[in-house]
Amino acid sequence: MKKDIGSIIGKLKDMHGQPRCELNFSNPLELVVATVLSAQCTDERVNKVTEQLFKRYRTLQDYIDAPAERLEEDIRPTGFYRNKAKNIKNIAGELVQRFNGKVPDDIDAFAAVKGIGRKSANMIVGLAYNRPAVIVDTHMIRVLNRIGLTKNEDPEKIEQDIRRTVPEPMWTALSLLIILHGRYACKAKKPECAKCLVKNDCDYWSGGKGNVR
Q: Does 146 bind ligand SF4 (CB under 6 A)?
A: yes
* 108 is a catalytic site residue: no
Q: Does 196 bind ligand SF4 (CB under 6 A)?
A: yes
The dihedral through the CA atoms of 86, 87, 93, 94 has a sign that is positive
* 106 is a catalytic site residue: no
The interface with ligand SF4 within residues 86-145 (CB under 6 A) comprises 143
Q: Does 178 bind ligand SF4 (CB under 6 A)?
A: no
Q: Which residues contact 120 (CB under 8 A, 6 or more apart)?
A: 32, 35, 36, 111
Q: Does 210 bind ligand SF4 (CB under 6 A)?
A: yes
Of the ranges 3-11, 80-88, 106-114, 195-203, which one interacts with ligand SF4 (CB under 6 A)? Answer: 195-203
Q: If binding means CB under 6 A, how many residues of this protein chain bind ligand SF4?
A: 15
In a 13 Å sphere around the CA of 149, the CA atoms on its Cβ side amount to 30
CA distance 79 to 3: 39
CA distance 22 to 41: 12
Cβ proximity to ligand SF4, 57 vs 205, nearer residue: 205
Residues making contact with ligand SF4 (CB under 6 A): 143, 146-147, 185-186, 191-193, 196, 198-199, 202, 204-205, 210
Please list the active-site residues.
Answer: 119, 137
